[in-house]
Amino acid sequence: MSQCRLIIGVDIIRVQVLFHAGLAPSYDDSGTPASAAGVEATFCAVARLLHSDGRRQHSSRPCTLTVRSVVCLASVAVPASWWHAERPDTVQVHFDVRQSNASTCDDRPPPTNTTERGQFLGTLSLTHSVLTYSELKEDRNVLVYVPQGSFYPGSRFRVPVKLQVHSQLRQFVVK
């Protein structure tokens, strides 16, 4: 298994679990490859998030592990509605790996109403990021506050824009 961040903020909306399997072809007593659980075995791995309220859960799409492809990454989005505005919340991360009869895993996510959680991996705290801002004074009317920090593709963040105290500005357009 991979490492797990213990705290995630609203700007990181995805949890990823890296699966690594030590699958090796199995051989019978005569040294010939056996296909039962070796060469043709396919395993499907899924990551599941369970909200602290116990009612809401979200699952990743299955990723495929085989003898030829022993690593896969399951990625699951954390719904924005899971962040509480006034208090931090937690999410449990679970995973499940099952052998499949097919050569690849079904690309559909498993049903979310299942009571099966799988193996417990860890608990994550959902927090609102505390950003520091640099103030930009581009003119006598507008103050722009640019967030400082690490951002990732798809990150969401706020850029506060304020009017100077004695500004006569009536309209402000952002392009």
Q: Tell me: the pLDDT tens digits for 33-65?
A: 655 544 568 899 999 999 988 889 999 999 998
**Cα 40 from Cα 22, distance rounded (Å):** 14
Where exactly are the structural domains of the chain?
A: 7-127, 132-163
Segments of the chain with pLDDT less than 50: 1-7, 37-38
For 58, phi and psi rounded to 5 degrees? -145, 135
Longest dimension (CA), the chain: 89
Closest to 65 (Cα-Cα) out of 122, 126, 19: 19
Query: What is the bridge-based pairing of β-strands 63-66 and 14-20?
Result: unpaired
Position 94 scores a pLDDT of: 94
Position 173 scores a pLDDT of: 81
Position 13 scores a pLDDT of: 76
Position 146 scores a pLDDT of: 84
In this structure, CATH architecture of domain 7-127: Sandwich (2.60)
Report whether 142 contacts 172 (CB < 8 A). Answer: yes
Q: 95 has which bridge partners?
A: 47, 119
